[in-house]
Structure 1
Amino acid sequence: MKQSMKRLLTAGLIFTMFAVLLAACGGGGTNTTDNNSGQTTDNPDKPFAGKKLSIVTANHPWGDAIKEMLPEFEASTGMKVDVQSFFEDQLAQKLTVQMTAGSVTPDVFMYSPLQQAKLFVKNGWIYPLDDYAKKEAAYDFDDFSKASVGSNMIDGKLYGIPIITEQHILYYRKDLLQQAGIAVPKTMDELLAAAQKLHDPKKEIYGFAARGQRSPLVSQISSFIYSEGGDFMKDDKATINTPEAIKGMTTYATLLRDYGPPGVLNMSWPQAIGVFAQGKAAFFADANSLFKNATDPEKSKIADQVGFAVFPAGKEGSQPFNITSWGLAMNAKAENKDAAWAFIQWASSKEIVLLTQQKGNPGARMSVWDNPEGITAFPKELAEVTKETQKGGVDHSLPPVDKVSEARDIIGAIVQKSISGEDIKAAAEQANKEFQVLIDKEKGK
């Protein structure tokens, strides 16, 4: 790793990435001044020499990979980078506390766009990155998938750079489908028919496994709703009672009610993929990022029989979520924004994304997915499905509101009631009214 990083950086990556920033900060002279701090450096090759950055990451494999590469980054830029990592809940709490207090640190932080962007932007905690991202042709911002960028857009502005993506896909048992002479489902109707045919509770084989817990299931029904032409809301109006939304939720509820395993109402993704990995389900639908739970022989009894497929099509085709699960954002009060961007730019460059993706971190750069060296950490079929899904999909898997948790509880109740045998249309009408109240409160109505 050290040798490859040394070659990468000395080959001119860092010079290219920072040359324009240097010119912008000091006009290209030998004595430069940082726009934000007023400090100077006499080394044109290290425009941020002596600067210190505070970075906060989640306890995530991506963060571990970046930490390994930081010494080379520091040596090449002259910066000192302090990195702290926290579990997801702790990270959210830390950021909320520090931002509320108006802290200038951390300069850069990992964040979950779909969970936090709306609230953070509303509170003025994140600095927009549009000008930075599009300033240098060498950065090639257009290389990021459109959906991953869309996950980081609020009111037409870019507030984060995607570093980890997730796509909704279909997992399946190759052996079961082959034995039954069933083709891999390409449509919702085909999935329902295949799940029904392979459902055999007496042999502890269930047709379909997925999240059934009220809040966790909401992200999963999104793709079913989108593929029928619906969404959670449109133009500040709740739309979970539309025919399209109800059709998508009905398909999901039917799969779990009629062909799911016992106890499905209490299942989040660990329990659901656990059923699949134990060889007790023919199909499992969830994020591609979970694949190792099904393909690792130490965790799975069917590791060599797992297949991956593009999400089945509904009336509007295959429209799965294609999201940024983790992005990098800049503190709006960071005192050294050019230096903060230098780190973000480096960490999300083509070269570094290639290295982090080789460690199993699915990035958002299409060129890396097209590079054979960029898919070595993934099963071939999964890489192909991911590449195909990256080309389209929908940029959100959750309702785009500030109070995401409350919205999830409201919407998730619809599916749970349907699984329990209640009228889904009546449940959707009631939930739509409750969701509209939540939307109106956030809009100050």
Structure 2
Amino acid sequence: MSATSSSNWDRRSILRAAAGMAAAGTLAACGSNNGRGGSGGSGSGKHLVQYFHAYGEAGTEQAIKRYAAAYKKADVSTSWITGNNFESALFATLLSSKAPDLFEFHPQLQLVKSGQVADLSDIINPVKDDFNPNDIKSHTVDGKIYGIRMIDDPQFFYYRKSMLEKAKVDVPTTLDELIEAAAKLTTGKVKGIFLGNDFTAIQNNLIWSAGADTLDAKNQIAYHTDGVVEGLKKLRTLFTSGNVLLGAPTDFWDPSSLNQGLCAIQWGGMWSMPAMQQALGDDLGIFPFPKIGSAGKQSVYNGGWSMFVNAKGKNVDAAKEYVKWLWIDQKQYQEDWATSYGFHIPPRTSIANQATKLKSGLPAEGIKLFTDYGHFDNIGFDQTMQNAFSEVIASSVRKNGNPEAALDTCDKKVNVELKKLFG
């Protein structure tokens, strides 16, 4: 789902401020309430607090609070974190006396290593085979499952079919073709392509489409390849071409840039599909991130959000019971969450198989791209590493730095982090 909470919501942007805020033990004042009472359910007994970032789709906040209100065994209140500081607010709050009992985030090994998130194997194992195996794998450490996937969010390019037809442009399958297409599609006030305001939304796709990976099976750097260097140089060419929408009013997670005709091609998530279809009808198509170089392959980034239980909280067992109730037992709510407020793929096969809204047309195409080209997060490639690679994009794509030198700098930071996590 999209987020108004961050211009780059998709697990890449733990703000560096988070570390400073966390060290200071400060709590950012945000959200529609303070997380203590007010918006909870009708349950008796324990009081639980859950943290969510502010999703962009209408009805999401009301839905999460409606589910919580239906729970009878505890009073569950929701802190709906608005603004651009969800990650920093969450990480700071986890170290304070106001830490939530459960929270949504993405699989991160350091949360496991620090004992911050509870082992949920006992509630997930009975239904483990009903989950996408990749969603289980990305949340598993030493055979234990930490976190339960709520939604899978593939990201790919959207495009205006009529604009490509008018410019006599075929759907690009290589980065060179994408650069050529952007040039032909740029006319007057319309830019050929929008890749997000700082290009970091596509940073993992740059790696995968070049035939590389973030880390290898031995948890060593796998992104520093000739193909990735080539991709960085080509993205720099694209960035400076004058054919890219820069400084858009909203970021990639919002469909406005394509819907309002500011560009012909836009990077985005499957969550935007209903709003785009409403605006553009049958003039809407999708394609994966194109391949880079001879060793490359097209790629789709599978984002998404997962629910975690705060292992250092006072109500671990009660929080786990609520997570089991909502994200394992209540299939109707799970399908509602995945398909009623934007489109997402339910992580559970049984729910995905019955999600009629995703069965045909463009949603079905999105699922096929996800199945054929999808990549999931590596739990070991943590936020510090993502940030280090974001700096590579900043220095060698948005500025004119040397890609090899930028990657060397990134390697040093990543290796420090790898040593911390893996010894």
Task: State if a TM-score over 0.5 links the two structures.
Answer: yes
Match of 2:193 in 1: 208
TM-score by length of 2: 0.73
Q: Is the 8 A contact 2:158 2:267 kept in 1?
A: yes
Aligned counterpart for 1:166 among listed residues 141, 149, 153 = 153
Query: 1:212-251 to 2 correspondence within 5 Å?
Result: 212-213=197-198, 217-234=199-216, 235-251=218-234
Secondary structure of the 1:323 match is strand
Secondary structure of the 2:240 match is helix
Is 2:139 aligned against 1:152? Answer: yes
Tell me how far apart the structure 2 counterparts of residues 127 and 161 of structure 1 sit (CA, whole Å).
11
Percent identity of paired positions between Structure 1 and Structure 2: 21
1:151, distance to aligned residue in structure 2 (A): 3.9
Query: 1:357-436 to 2 correspondence within 5 Å?
Result: 357-360=338-341, 362=344, 363-375=346-358, 380-390=361-371, 393-396=374-377, 400-404=381-385, 406-416=387-397, 419-429=398-408, 431-436=409-414
1:181, distance to aligned residue in structure 2 (A): 3.9
Aligned counterpart for 1:127 among listed residues 118, 143, 146 = 118
Match of 2:76 in 1: 81
Secondary structure of the 1:167 match is strand
Q: Is the 8 A contact 1:228 1:316 kept in 2?
A: yes
Aligned counterpart for 2:332 among listed residues 348, 351, 366 = 351
Q: Is the 8 A contact 1:65 1:356 kept in 2?
A: yes
Cα gap change, 1:251 to 1:380, in 2 (>3 Å) = farther
1:126, distance to aligned residue in structure 2 (A): 0.6
Match of 1:279 in 2: 261
Structure of larger gyration radius: 1
Match of 2:68 in 1: 70
Q: Is the 8 A contact 2:298 2:373 kept in 1?
A: no
1:283, distance to aligned residue in structure 2 (A): 1.6
Q: Is the 8 A contact 1:168 1:286 kept in 2?
A: yes
Match of 2:238 in 1: 255
RMSD: 3.6
Secondary structure of the 1:119 match is helix
Secondary structure of the 2:71 match is helix
Match of 1:108 in 2: 102
Equivalent residue pairs, number: 370
Q: Is the 8 A contact 1:186 1:313 kept in 2?
A: yes
1:192, distance to aligned residue in structure 2 (A): 3.6
Cα gap change, 1:90 to 1:192, in 2 (>3 Å) = closer
1:404, distance to aligned residue in structure 2 (A): 5.0
AA aligned opposite 2:94: M
330-339 or 223-232, which moves further after superposition? 330-339
Tell me how far apart the structure 2 counterparts of residues 335 and 436 of structure 1 sit (CA, whole Å).
34
Match of 1:309 in 2: 287
Q: Is the 8 A contact 1:144 1:365 kept in 2?
A: yes
Tell me how far apart the structure 2 counterparts of residues 218 and 336 of structure 1 sit (CA, whole Å).
37
Secondary structure of the 2:149 match is strand
Cα gap change, 1:322 to 1:333, in 2 (>3 Å) = same
Tell me how far apart the structure 2 counterparts of residues 221 and 405 of structure 1 sit (CA, whole Å).
9
Q: Is the 8 A contact 1:295 1:306 kept in 2?
A: yes
Q: Is the 8 A contact 2:154 2:300 kept in 1?
A: yes
Aligned counterpart for 1:321 among listed residues 301, 323, 335 = 301
Q: Is the 8 A contact 1:147 1:392 kept in 2?
A: no
**Structure whose residues are more often helix by fraction:** 1
Match of 2:37 in 1: none
Q: Is the 8 A contact 1:322 1:392 kept in 2?
A: no
Is 2:129 aligned against 1:142? Answer: yes
Cα gap change, 1:420 to 1:79, in 2 (>3 Å) = closer
1:236, distance to aligned residue in structure 2 (A): 4.9
Tell me how far apart the structure 2 counterparts of residues 268 and 425 of structure 1 sit (CA, whole Å).
31
Q: Is the 8 A contact 2:192 2:245 kept in 1?
A: no
1:106, distance to aligned residue in structure 2 (A): 3.1
Cα gap change, 1:62 to 1:348, in 2 (>3 Å) = farther
Q: Is the 8 A contact 1:229 1:244 kept in 2?
A: yes
Tell me how far apart the structure 1 counterparts of residues 109 and 379 of structure 2 sit (CA, whole Å).
12
Secondary structure of the 1:225 match is helix
AA aligned opposite 1:86: I
1:328, distance to aligned residue in structure 2 (A): 0.7
AA aligned opposite 1:100: L
AA aligned opposite 1:65: A
Secondary structure of the 1:73 match is coil
Tell me how far apart the structure 1 counterparts of residues 93 and 419 of structure 2 sit (CA, whole Å).
26
Cα gap change, 1:183 to 1:411, in 2 (>3 Å) = same
Deviations 1:373-392 (A, max 9, x none): 3439xx93134313540565
1:154, distance to aligned residue in structure 2 (A): 4.4
1:133, distance to aligned residue in structure 2 (A): 0.5
1:408, distance to aligned residue in structure 2 (A): 4.3
Is 2:321 aligned against 1:342? Answer: yes
TM-score by length of 1: 0.70
1:329, distance to aligned residue in structure 2 (A): 0.6
